[in-house]
Chain A
Amino acid sequence: MSEPISALNGAIYNQGIAEILALDPIGMISIRGDLSAGYLKKPIKKITGLGMPEMRGINLNGQTGIAWMSPDETLLICTYAEVGAHLDTLQNSIGSNHALAVNVSDARAVFRLKGKHIREVLAKLAPVDMSPENFAVGTIRRTRLAQVPAAFWMVDAETAHLVCFRSVAQYVFDLLKTAAQPGSEVNYYKR
Chain B
Amino acid sequence: MLVLTCPNCGITAEETEFHAGGEAHLTRHGPGASDDDFEKYLFMRDNPKGVHFERWRHVYGCGKWFHAARDTMTLEIFGTYTAQTSTVPQDIIDKITDRRPDWQKSDAR
Residues of A near any B CB (own CB < 8 A)? 55-56, 69-71, 73, 127-128, 141-144, 149
CB distance from A133 to the nearest CB of B (A): 14
Q: How far is the CB of B70 from chain A (nearest CB, A)?
A: 18
What number of B residues sit within 8 Å (CB to CB) of A?
Answer: 13
Shortest CB-to-CB span from B18 to chain A, Å, is: 10
Chain A hits for B64, CB < 8 A: 70-71
B9 close to A143 (CB less than 8 A): no
Residue of A nearest to B13 (CB): A127
Tally A-B pairs: CB < 8 A.
34
Instruction: Please indicate the chain B residues that have their CB under 8 angstroms from the CB of A143 in the complex.
Output: 13, 17, 60-61
Q: Which residue of B lies closest to A142 (CB)?
A: B61
Decide: B60 and A70 in contact? CB cutoff 8 A. no
Q: Is the CB of B60 within 8 A of A69?
A: no
Chain A nearest CB, measured from B88 CB (Å): 22
> A55-B9, A70-B9 are known contacts. Are A144 and B16 too (CB-CB below 8 A)?
yes
What residues of chain A lie closer than 8 Å to B14, measured between beta carbons?
127
* A144 interface neighbour in B8, B9, B11, B60, Cβ under 8 Å: B60
Contact partner of B62 among A70, A127, A128, A144, CB < 8 A?
Answer: A70
Chain B's closest residue to A68 (CB) is: B9
Tell whether B89 is near chain A: CB-to-CB under 8 Å. Answer: no
* B62 lies within 8 A of A71 (CB): yes
A56: chain B residues within 8 A (beta carbon):
9-11
From A70, A127, A141, A149, contact of B8 by CB (8 A): A70
